[in-house]
Copies of this chain bind each other. A is one copy, B any other.
Amino acid sequence: MLTDQRHQIIRDRLAVEGRVLAGELASHFGVSEDTVRRDLRELAKAGECRRVYGGAVASAPLAAATVGQRSGHAVEEKMRLASAAVRLLSAGQSLFIDGGSTNAAIARAIPRELDLTVATNSLGVASALSDHPQVELIVLGGRFVRELGTCVGADTLAAIAQLGADLCFLGSCGLDAARGVTAFDSAEAEVKRAMARNSTGIVVAVTNDKLATAAPYRVARAEAIRHLVVEKSAPAAILADFERQGAEIHFA
């Protein structure tokens, strides 16, 4: 990978997320942290970002515009969850990745040189993976739902039915030990169910505000969750319920 490409990707990320972490970029690119730090120093010298301890942030005028506007809710937390979730991956696996901002963050955190097969109905996830040379990317088409950023409907279900995956990253609108993974929309839930059904293991990564809440449509029961990725500050009592039902808990 060319130095210039790294710089471009770092620029893009700064524009989207407002800040980058040296360690994260290093594992994403598959280079040493020293190299990333050199990159950041150069970009900073060119005025394209400001260097801070641990990484870099977008230069002042830009930062205000983008960071705020971007699906800004809990960006930091989601990136931390993503880093933890990516540790569940290994080369050669096949994945379903559902929509939602947390899953988009996970897709962005996937190391660039990791060898995977990924099927997704999310435009954001597809875009994030579209420059990963080792990822065989399958787009699950269908009717595009603007609010979700994903495709749903009969076509989507038909495409999923033809596939199987090792892991399924389910976006969750609500997560409750009794009601399991739930979604706000019927068609969306149907797609999630299909993905879950055709996967060996289910991974759910959620921020604290989703814990112990539920949406109307059931997607998967709590005991179907194999990996649960949560914030360090997640209430232990709630996690215990999931652990009892067989989930492995991973802290961001």
A residues near B (Cβ < 8 Å) are 2-5, 9, 12, 19, 21, 50, 52-55, 57, 67-69, 121, 123, 126-127, 130-131, 133, 136-144, 146, 149, 151, 155-156, 158-159, 162
Nearest B residue to A126 via CB reads B123
Give the residue of B52, B55, B141, B149 whose beta carbon is less than 8 angstroms from that of A142.
Answer: B141
Interface of A is mostly: mixed
Contacts of A131 in B (CB 8 A): 67-69, 146
Cα A53 to Cα B1 with chains together (Å): 10
Contacts of A155 in B (CB 8 A): 138, 141, 159, 162
**Given A52-B4, A57-B2; A130-B149 close (CB under 8 Å):** yes
Contacts of A19 in B (CB 8 A): 2, 4-5
From A143, A146, A149, residue with most partner B Cβ within 10 Å: A146
Contacts of A50 in B (CB 8 A): 4
Q: Are the C-beta atoms of B143 and A4 separated by less than 8 Å?
A: no
Nearest B residue to A66 via CB reads B130
5 further A-B contacts with Cβ under 8 Å, apart from A2-B19, A137-B146, A138-B155, are A68-B131, A123-B123, A131-B146, A138-B142, A141-B141
Q: Are the C-beta atoms of A4 and B138 separated by less than 8 Å?
A: no
Cα A68 to Cα B128 with chains together (Å): 9
The 23 sampled A-B contact pairs (Cβ below 8 Å) are A2-B19, A2-B52, A2-B57, A3-B54, A4-B19, A4-B52, A4-B57, A12-B68, A67-B130, A67-B131, A123-B127, A123-B130, A123-B139, A130-B149, A136-B143, A137-B143, A137-B144, A137-B146, A138-B143, A139-B142, A139-B144, A141-B151, A141-B159
Cα A126 to Cα B68 with chains together (Å): 11
Give the residue of B12, B54, B121, B133 whose beta carbon is less than 8 angstroms from that of A2.
Answer: B54
Smallest CB separation, A114 vs chain B (Å): 15
- The 8 closest A-B CB pairs, nearest first, are A141-B141, A137-B144, A139-B141, A67-B130, A4-B52, A2-B54, A139-B151, A140-B141
